[in-house]
Structure 1
Amino acid sequence: MNATVVVILALAAGTYAFRLVGPVLHGRVAVPARVQELASAGAVVLLAALLATGALTESGGFAGWARPAGVLAGAVLAWRRASFAVVVLGAVVTTALLRLAGVA
């Protein structure tokens, strides 16, 4: 086995163990309500940071205005409860049309 396979297997085992901890420890460990609130808030902040990084940057710099506009169009469609395909197509079309118009 080469090193890549070993690393993949180790990560798979770690992921499985991490997911198994929840059901095994359920009911045995009491997590305070404040910790649960902070964990929920942390997840939202992490997702927002990932969205902002992906929408606004490319190769360590600003991605231009077309990509954030496409993300915004997709967000509006998602907020209006459009189907996933419509959300993705709306974001893609918005970005493509702005790039075609010369907005980088």
Structure 2
Amino acid sequence: MPIAAIVVLAAGTLAFRLAGPLFRDRVRIPPRLEDLLSVAALVLLFALVVTSSFAGWARPAGVLVAGVLAIRKAPFPVIVIAAAATTAVLRLIGVP
């Protein structure tokens, strides 16, 4: 990936992260939209699980662990570490 693309993606990510605290009191999201966005996040997670299912068993198992932890509202670093550890351990023991 070109350096320019990485810089643009990093700047966009930072802008999104800063927009939340800056606009929290100025922008009101209707409850219906909040519900819709919550469902959309679950749909995206399910799509990730489905598309990862074609890559052997270790990766979908890691995604499944991440999904379960996300539904249980675990902290993001815990989700990432648990998913990576699950995939790594399964690959270490020979699961494709």
1:42-87 residue CA offsets vs partner (Å, 9 max, x unmatched): 0011001101210x214xxxx5xxx28x73xx75xx68xxxx49x7
Structure 1's unaligned 5+ residue stretches are 100-104
1:18 aligns with 2:6: no
- Which residue identity does 1:57 align to in structure 2? F
Structure 2's unaligned 5+ residue stretches are 70-81
Please give the TM-score of this superposition, normalised by the length of structure 2.
0.59
Tell me which stretches of 4 or more aligned residues in structure 1 moved more than 6 Å.
none
Give percent identity, aligned residues only.
34
- Structure with bigger RCO (C-alpha 8 Å, 6+ apart): 2
Please give the TM-score of this superposition, normalised by the length of structure 1.
0.56
Separation (CA, whole Å) in 1 of partners of 2:4 and 2:47:
32
- Which residue identity does 1:48 align to in structure 2? F
Structure 1 residue 39, shift from structure 2 partner = 0.3
Structure 1 residue 96, shift from structure 2 partner = 3.6
Separation (CA, whole Å) in 2 of partners of 1:41 and 1:26:
21
